[in-house]
Amino acid sequence: MDNKTAQQRNDLTSSSAEEDDRQPIYAAPALEKGLDILELLAKQEEGLTRREIAERLGRSVSEIFRMIEALTRRSYLVQNGDTFLLGMKLFELAHELPPMNRLLKEALPRMEALAKAVDQSCHLTVLSGPRQLVIAQVDSPEGVGFSVKIGAMLDLLKSASGRVLLAFRDQEETRRLISLADPKLSVAERSAFMKTLMKVAGQGFAFMKSNQFSGVEAISYPILNSRAHAIAALTVPYVTRLDDVARKPPLEAQRALAKAAAELNAALGGAVMDIADDTQSTQSSAKHRPRR
């Protein structure tokens, strides 16, 4: 290619880039108002009145009145007296996404079997920004135990499931998520936490006493994609019953959870967990490692 042709090509590329930069940003005021309302109410547990919504968004009540009515009519918002709360419509839409739908379809029967086998509750979480979202929950058959609410947002750094979601992904992304989850962590604290995650990745699961609830020990395994990156975490919050000595110990609960996670990974076409028969302790390095 001669110099003239190369220069013409460079000029054409430069011209295209300049045209892209000049592309107008089209305004959609009604859509913007609707999204602002949804994002605001997503952070409110008890809901807000029309006036409170308007004040927090820096708008007048008349500006948002029709938008709130439309969102309520289509079930994105739920009215309770004078207040409005975020409905379950967005949650339902998220679950209708093909990957999420398949994950839940394959996970729920295995979670029900797991809960029955170990007489403990279990839940499934996915990454949601710098936190994790509970997308499925199965109670223990007795109805007595530790459970979390579907749709709850959980801390990413303090939980076994959070550690699993962080341990099985690229280190660069892991560091970014840690910074977002807790910007106040010191360099030494981040380094120590990364070492903890390396241990989780090495043994293939996380086991820890709850940092928030006495008497709860959390065991969590990753649900992996084909690259051995965690797309979800399957967790048993093991509760010891003082009045039931016949209940399966944590070691058996871990084995059952490892088997359920491996079966789910296989069903989804993800990396399969090698399940060792000689697991010595949930506290020690078990031979549960993903293979691509």
pLDDT tens, position by position, 5-64: 445 444 444 444 444 444 557 778 889 999 999 989 988 878 899 999 999 999 999 999
Sign of the CA dihedral with 135 first, then 142, 256, and 201 last: positive
Over residues 209-233, the mean pLDDT reads 88
* Half-sphere exposure in the Cβ direction for 2 (13 Å, CA): 2
Sign of the CA dihedral with 163 first, then 168, 171, and 172 last: negative
CB-based contact 231:126 (threshold 8 Å)? yes
Q: 130: how many CB neighbours lie within 10 A of its CB?
A: 17
Which pLDDT band holds residue 94 (cuts at 50, 70, 90)?
A: low
Over residues 160-166, the mean pLDDT reads 96
Angle among Cα 283, 117, 217 to the nearest 5 degrees reads 30
All domains in the chain, ordered by first residue: 29-87 (1.10.10.10), 97-291 (3.30.450.40)
Q: What CA–CA distance (Å, rounded) separates 179 from 44?
A: 24
Q: Which residues pair with 78 in a beta bridge?
A: 85
Amino acid 255: pLDDT: 95
Q: Which tokens go with 19?
A: 């045209």
- Model confidence at 190: pLDDT above 50: yes
Q: What CA–CA distance (Å, rounded) separates 261 from 283?
A: 19
Q: Identify residue 36 by its one-letter amino acid code.
A: D
* Helix or strand run (H / E) with residue 98: helix 98-118
Query: Mean pLDDT across the chain, nearest whole number?
Result: 82
- Model confidence at 280: pLDDT above 60: no
Q: What CA–CA distance (Å, rounded) separates 270 from 290?
A: 9
Amino acid 27: pLDDT: 78
Instruction: Give pTM, 2 decimals.
Output: 0.68
Q: pLDDT tens-digit profile of 223-261?
A: 998 888 999 999 999 987 766 656 678 899 999 999 999
**In sequence order, what are the residues at sequence separation of 6 or more whose Cβ sits closer than 8 angstroms to the Cβ of residue 38?**
71, 76, 86, 90
Q: Which residues pair with 58 in a beta bridge?
A: none
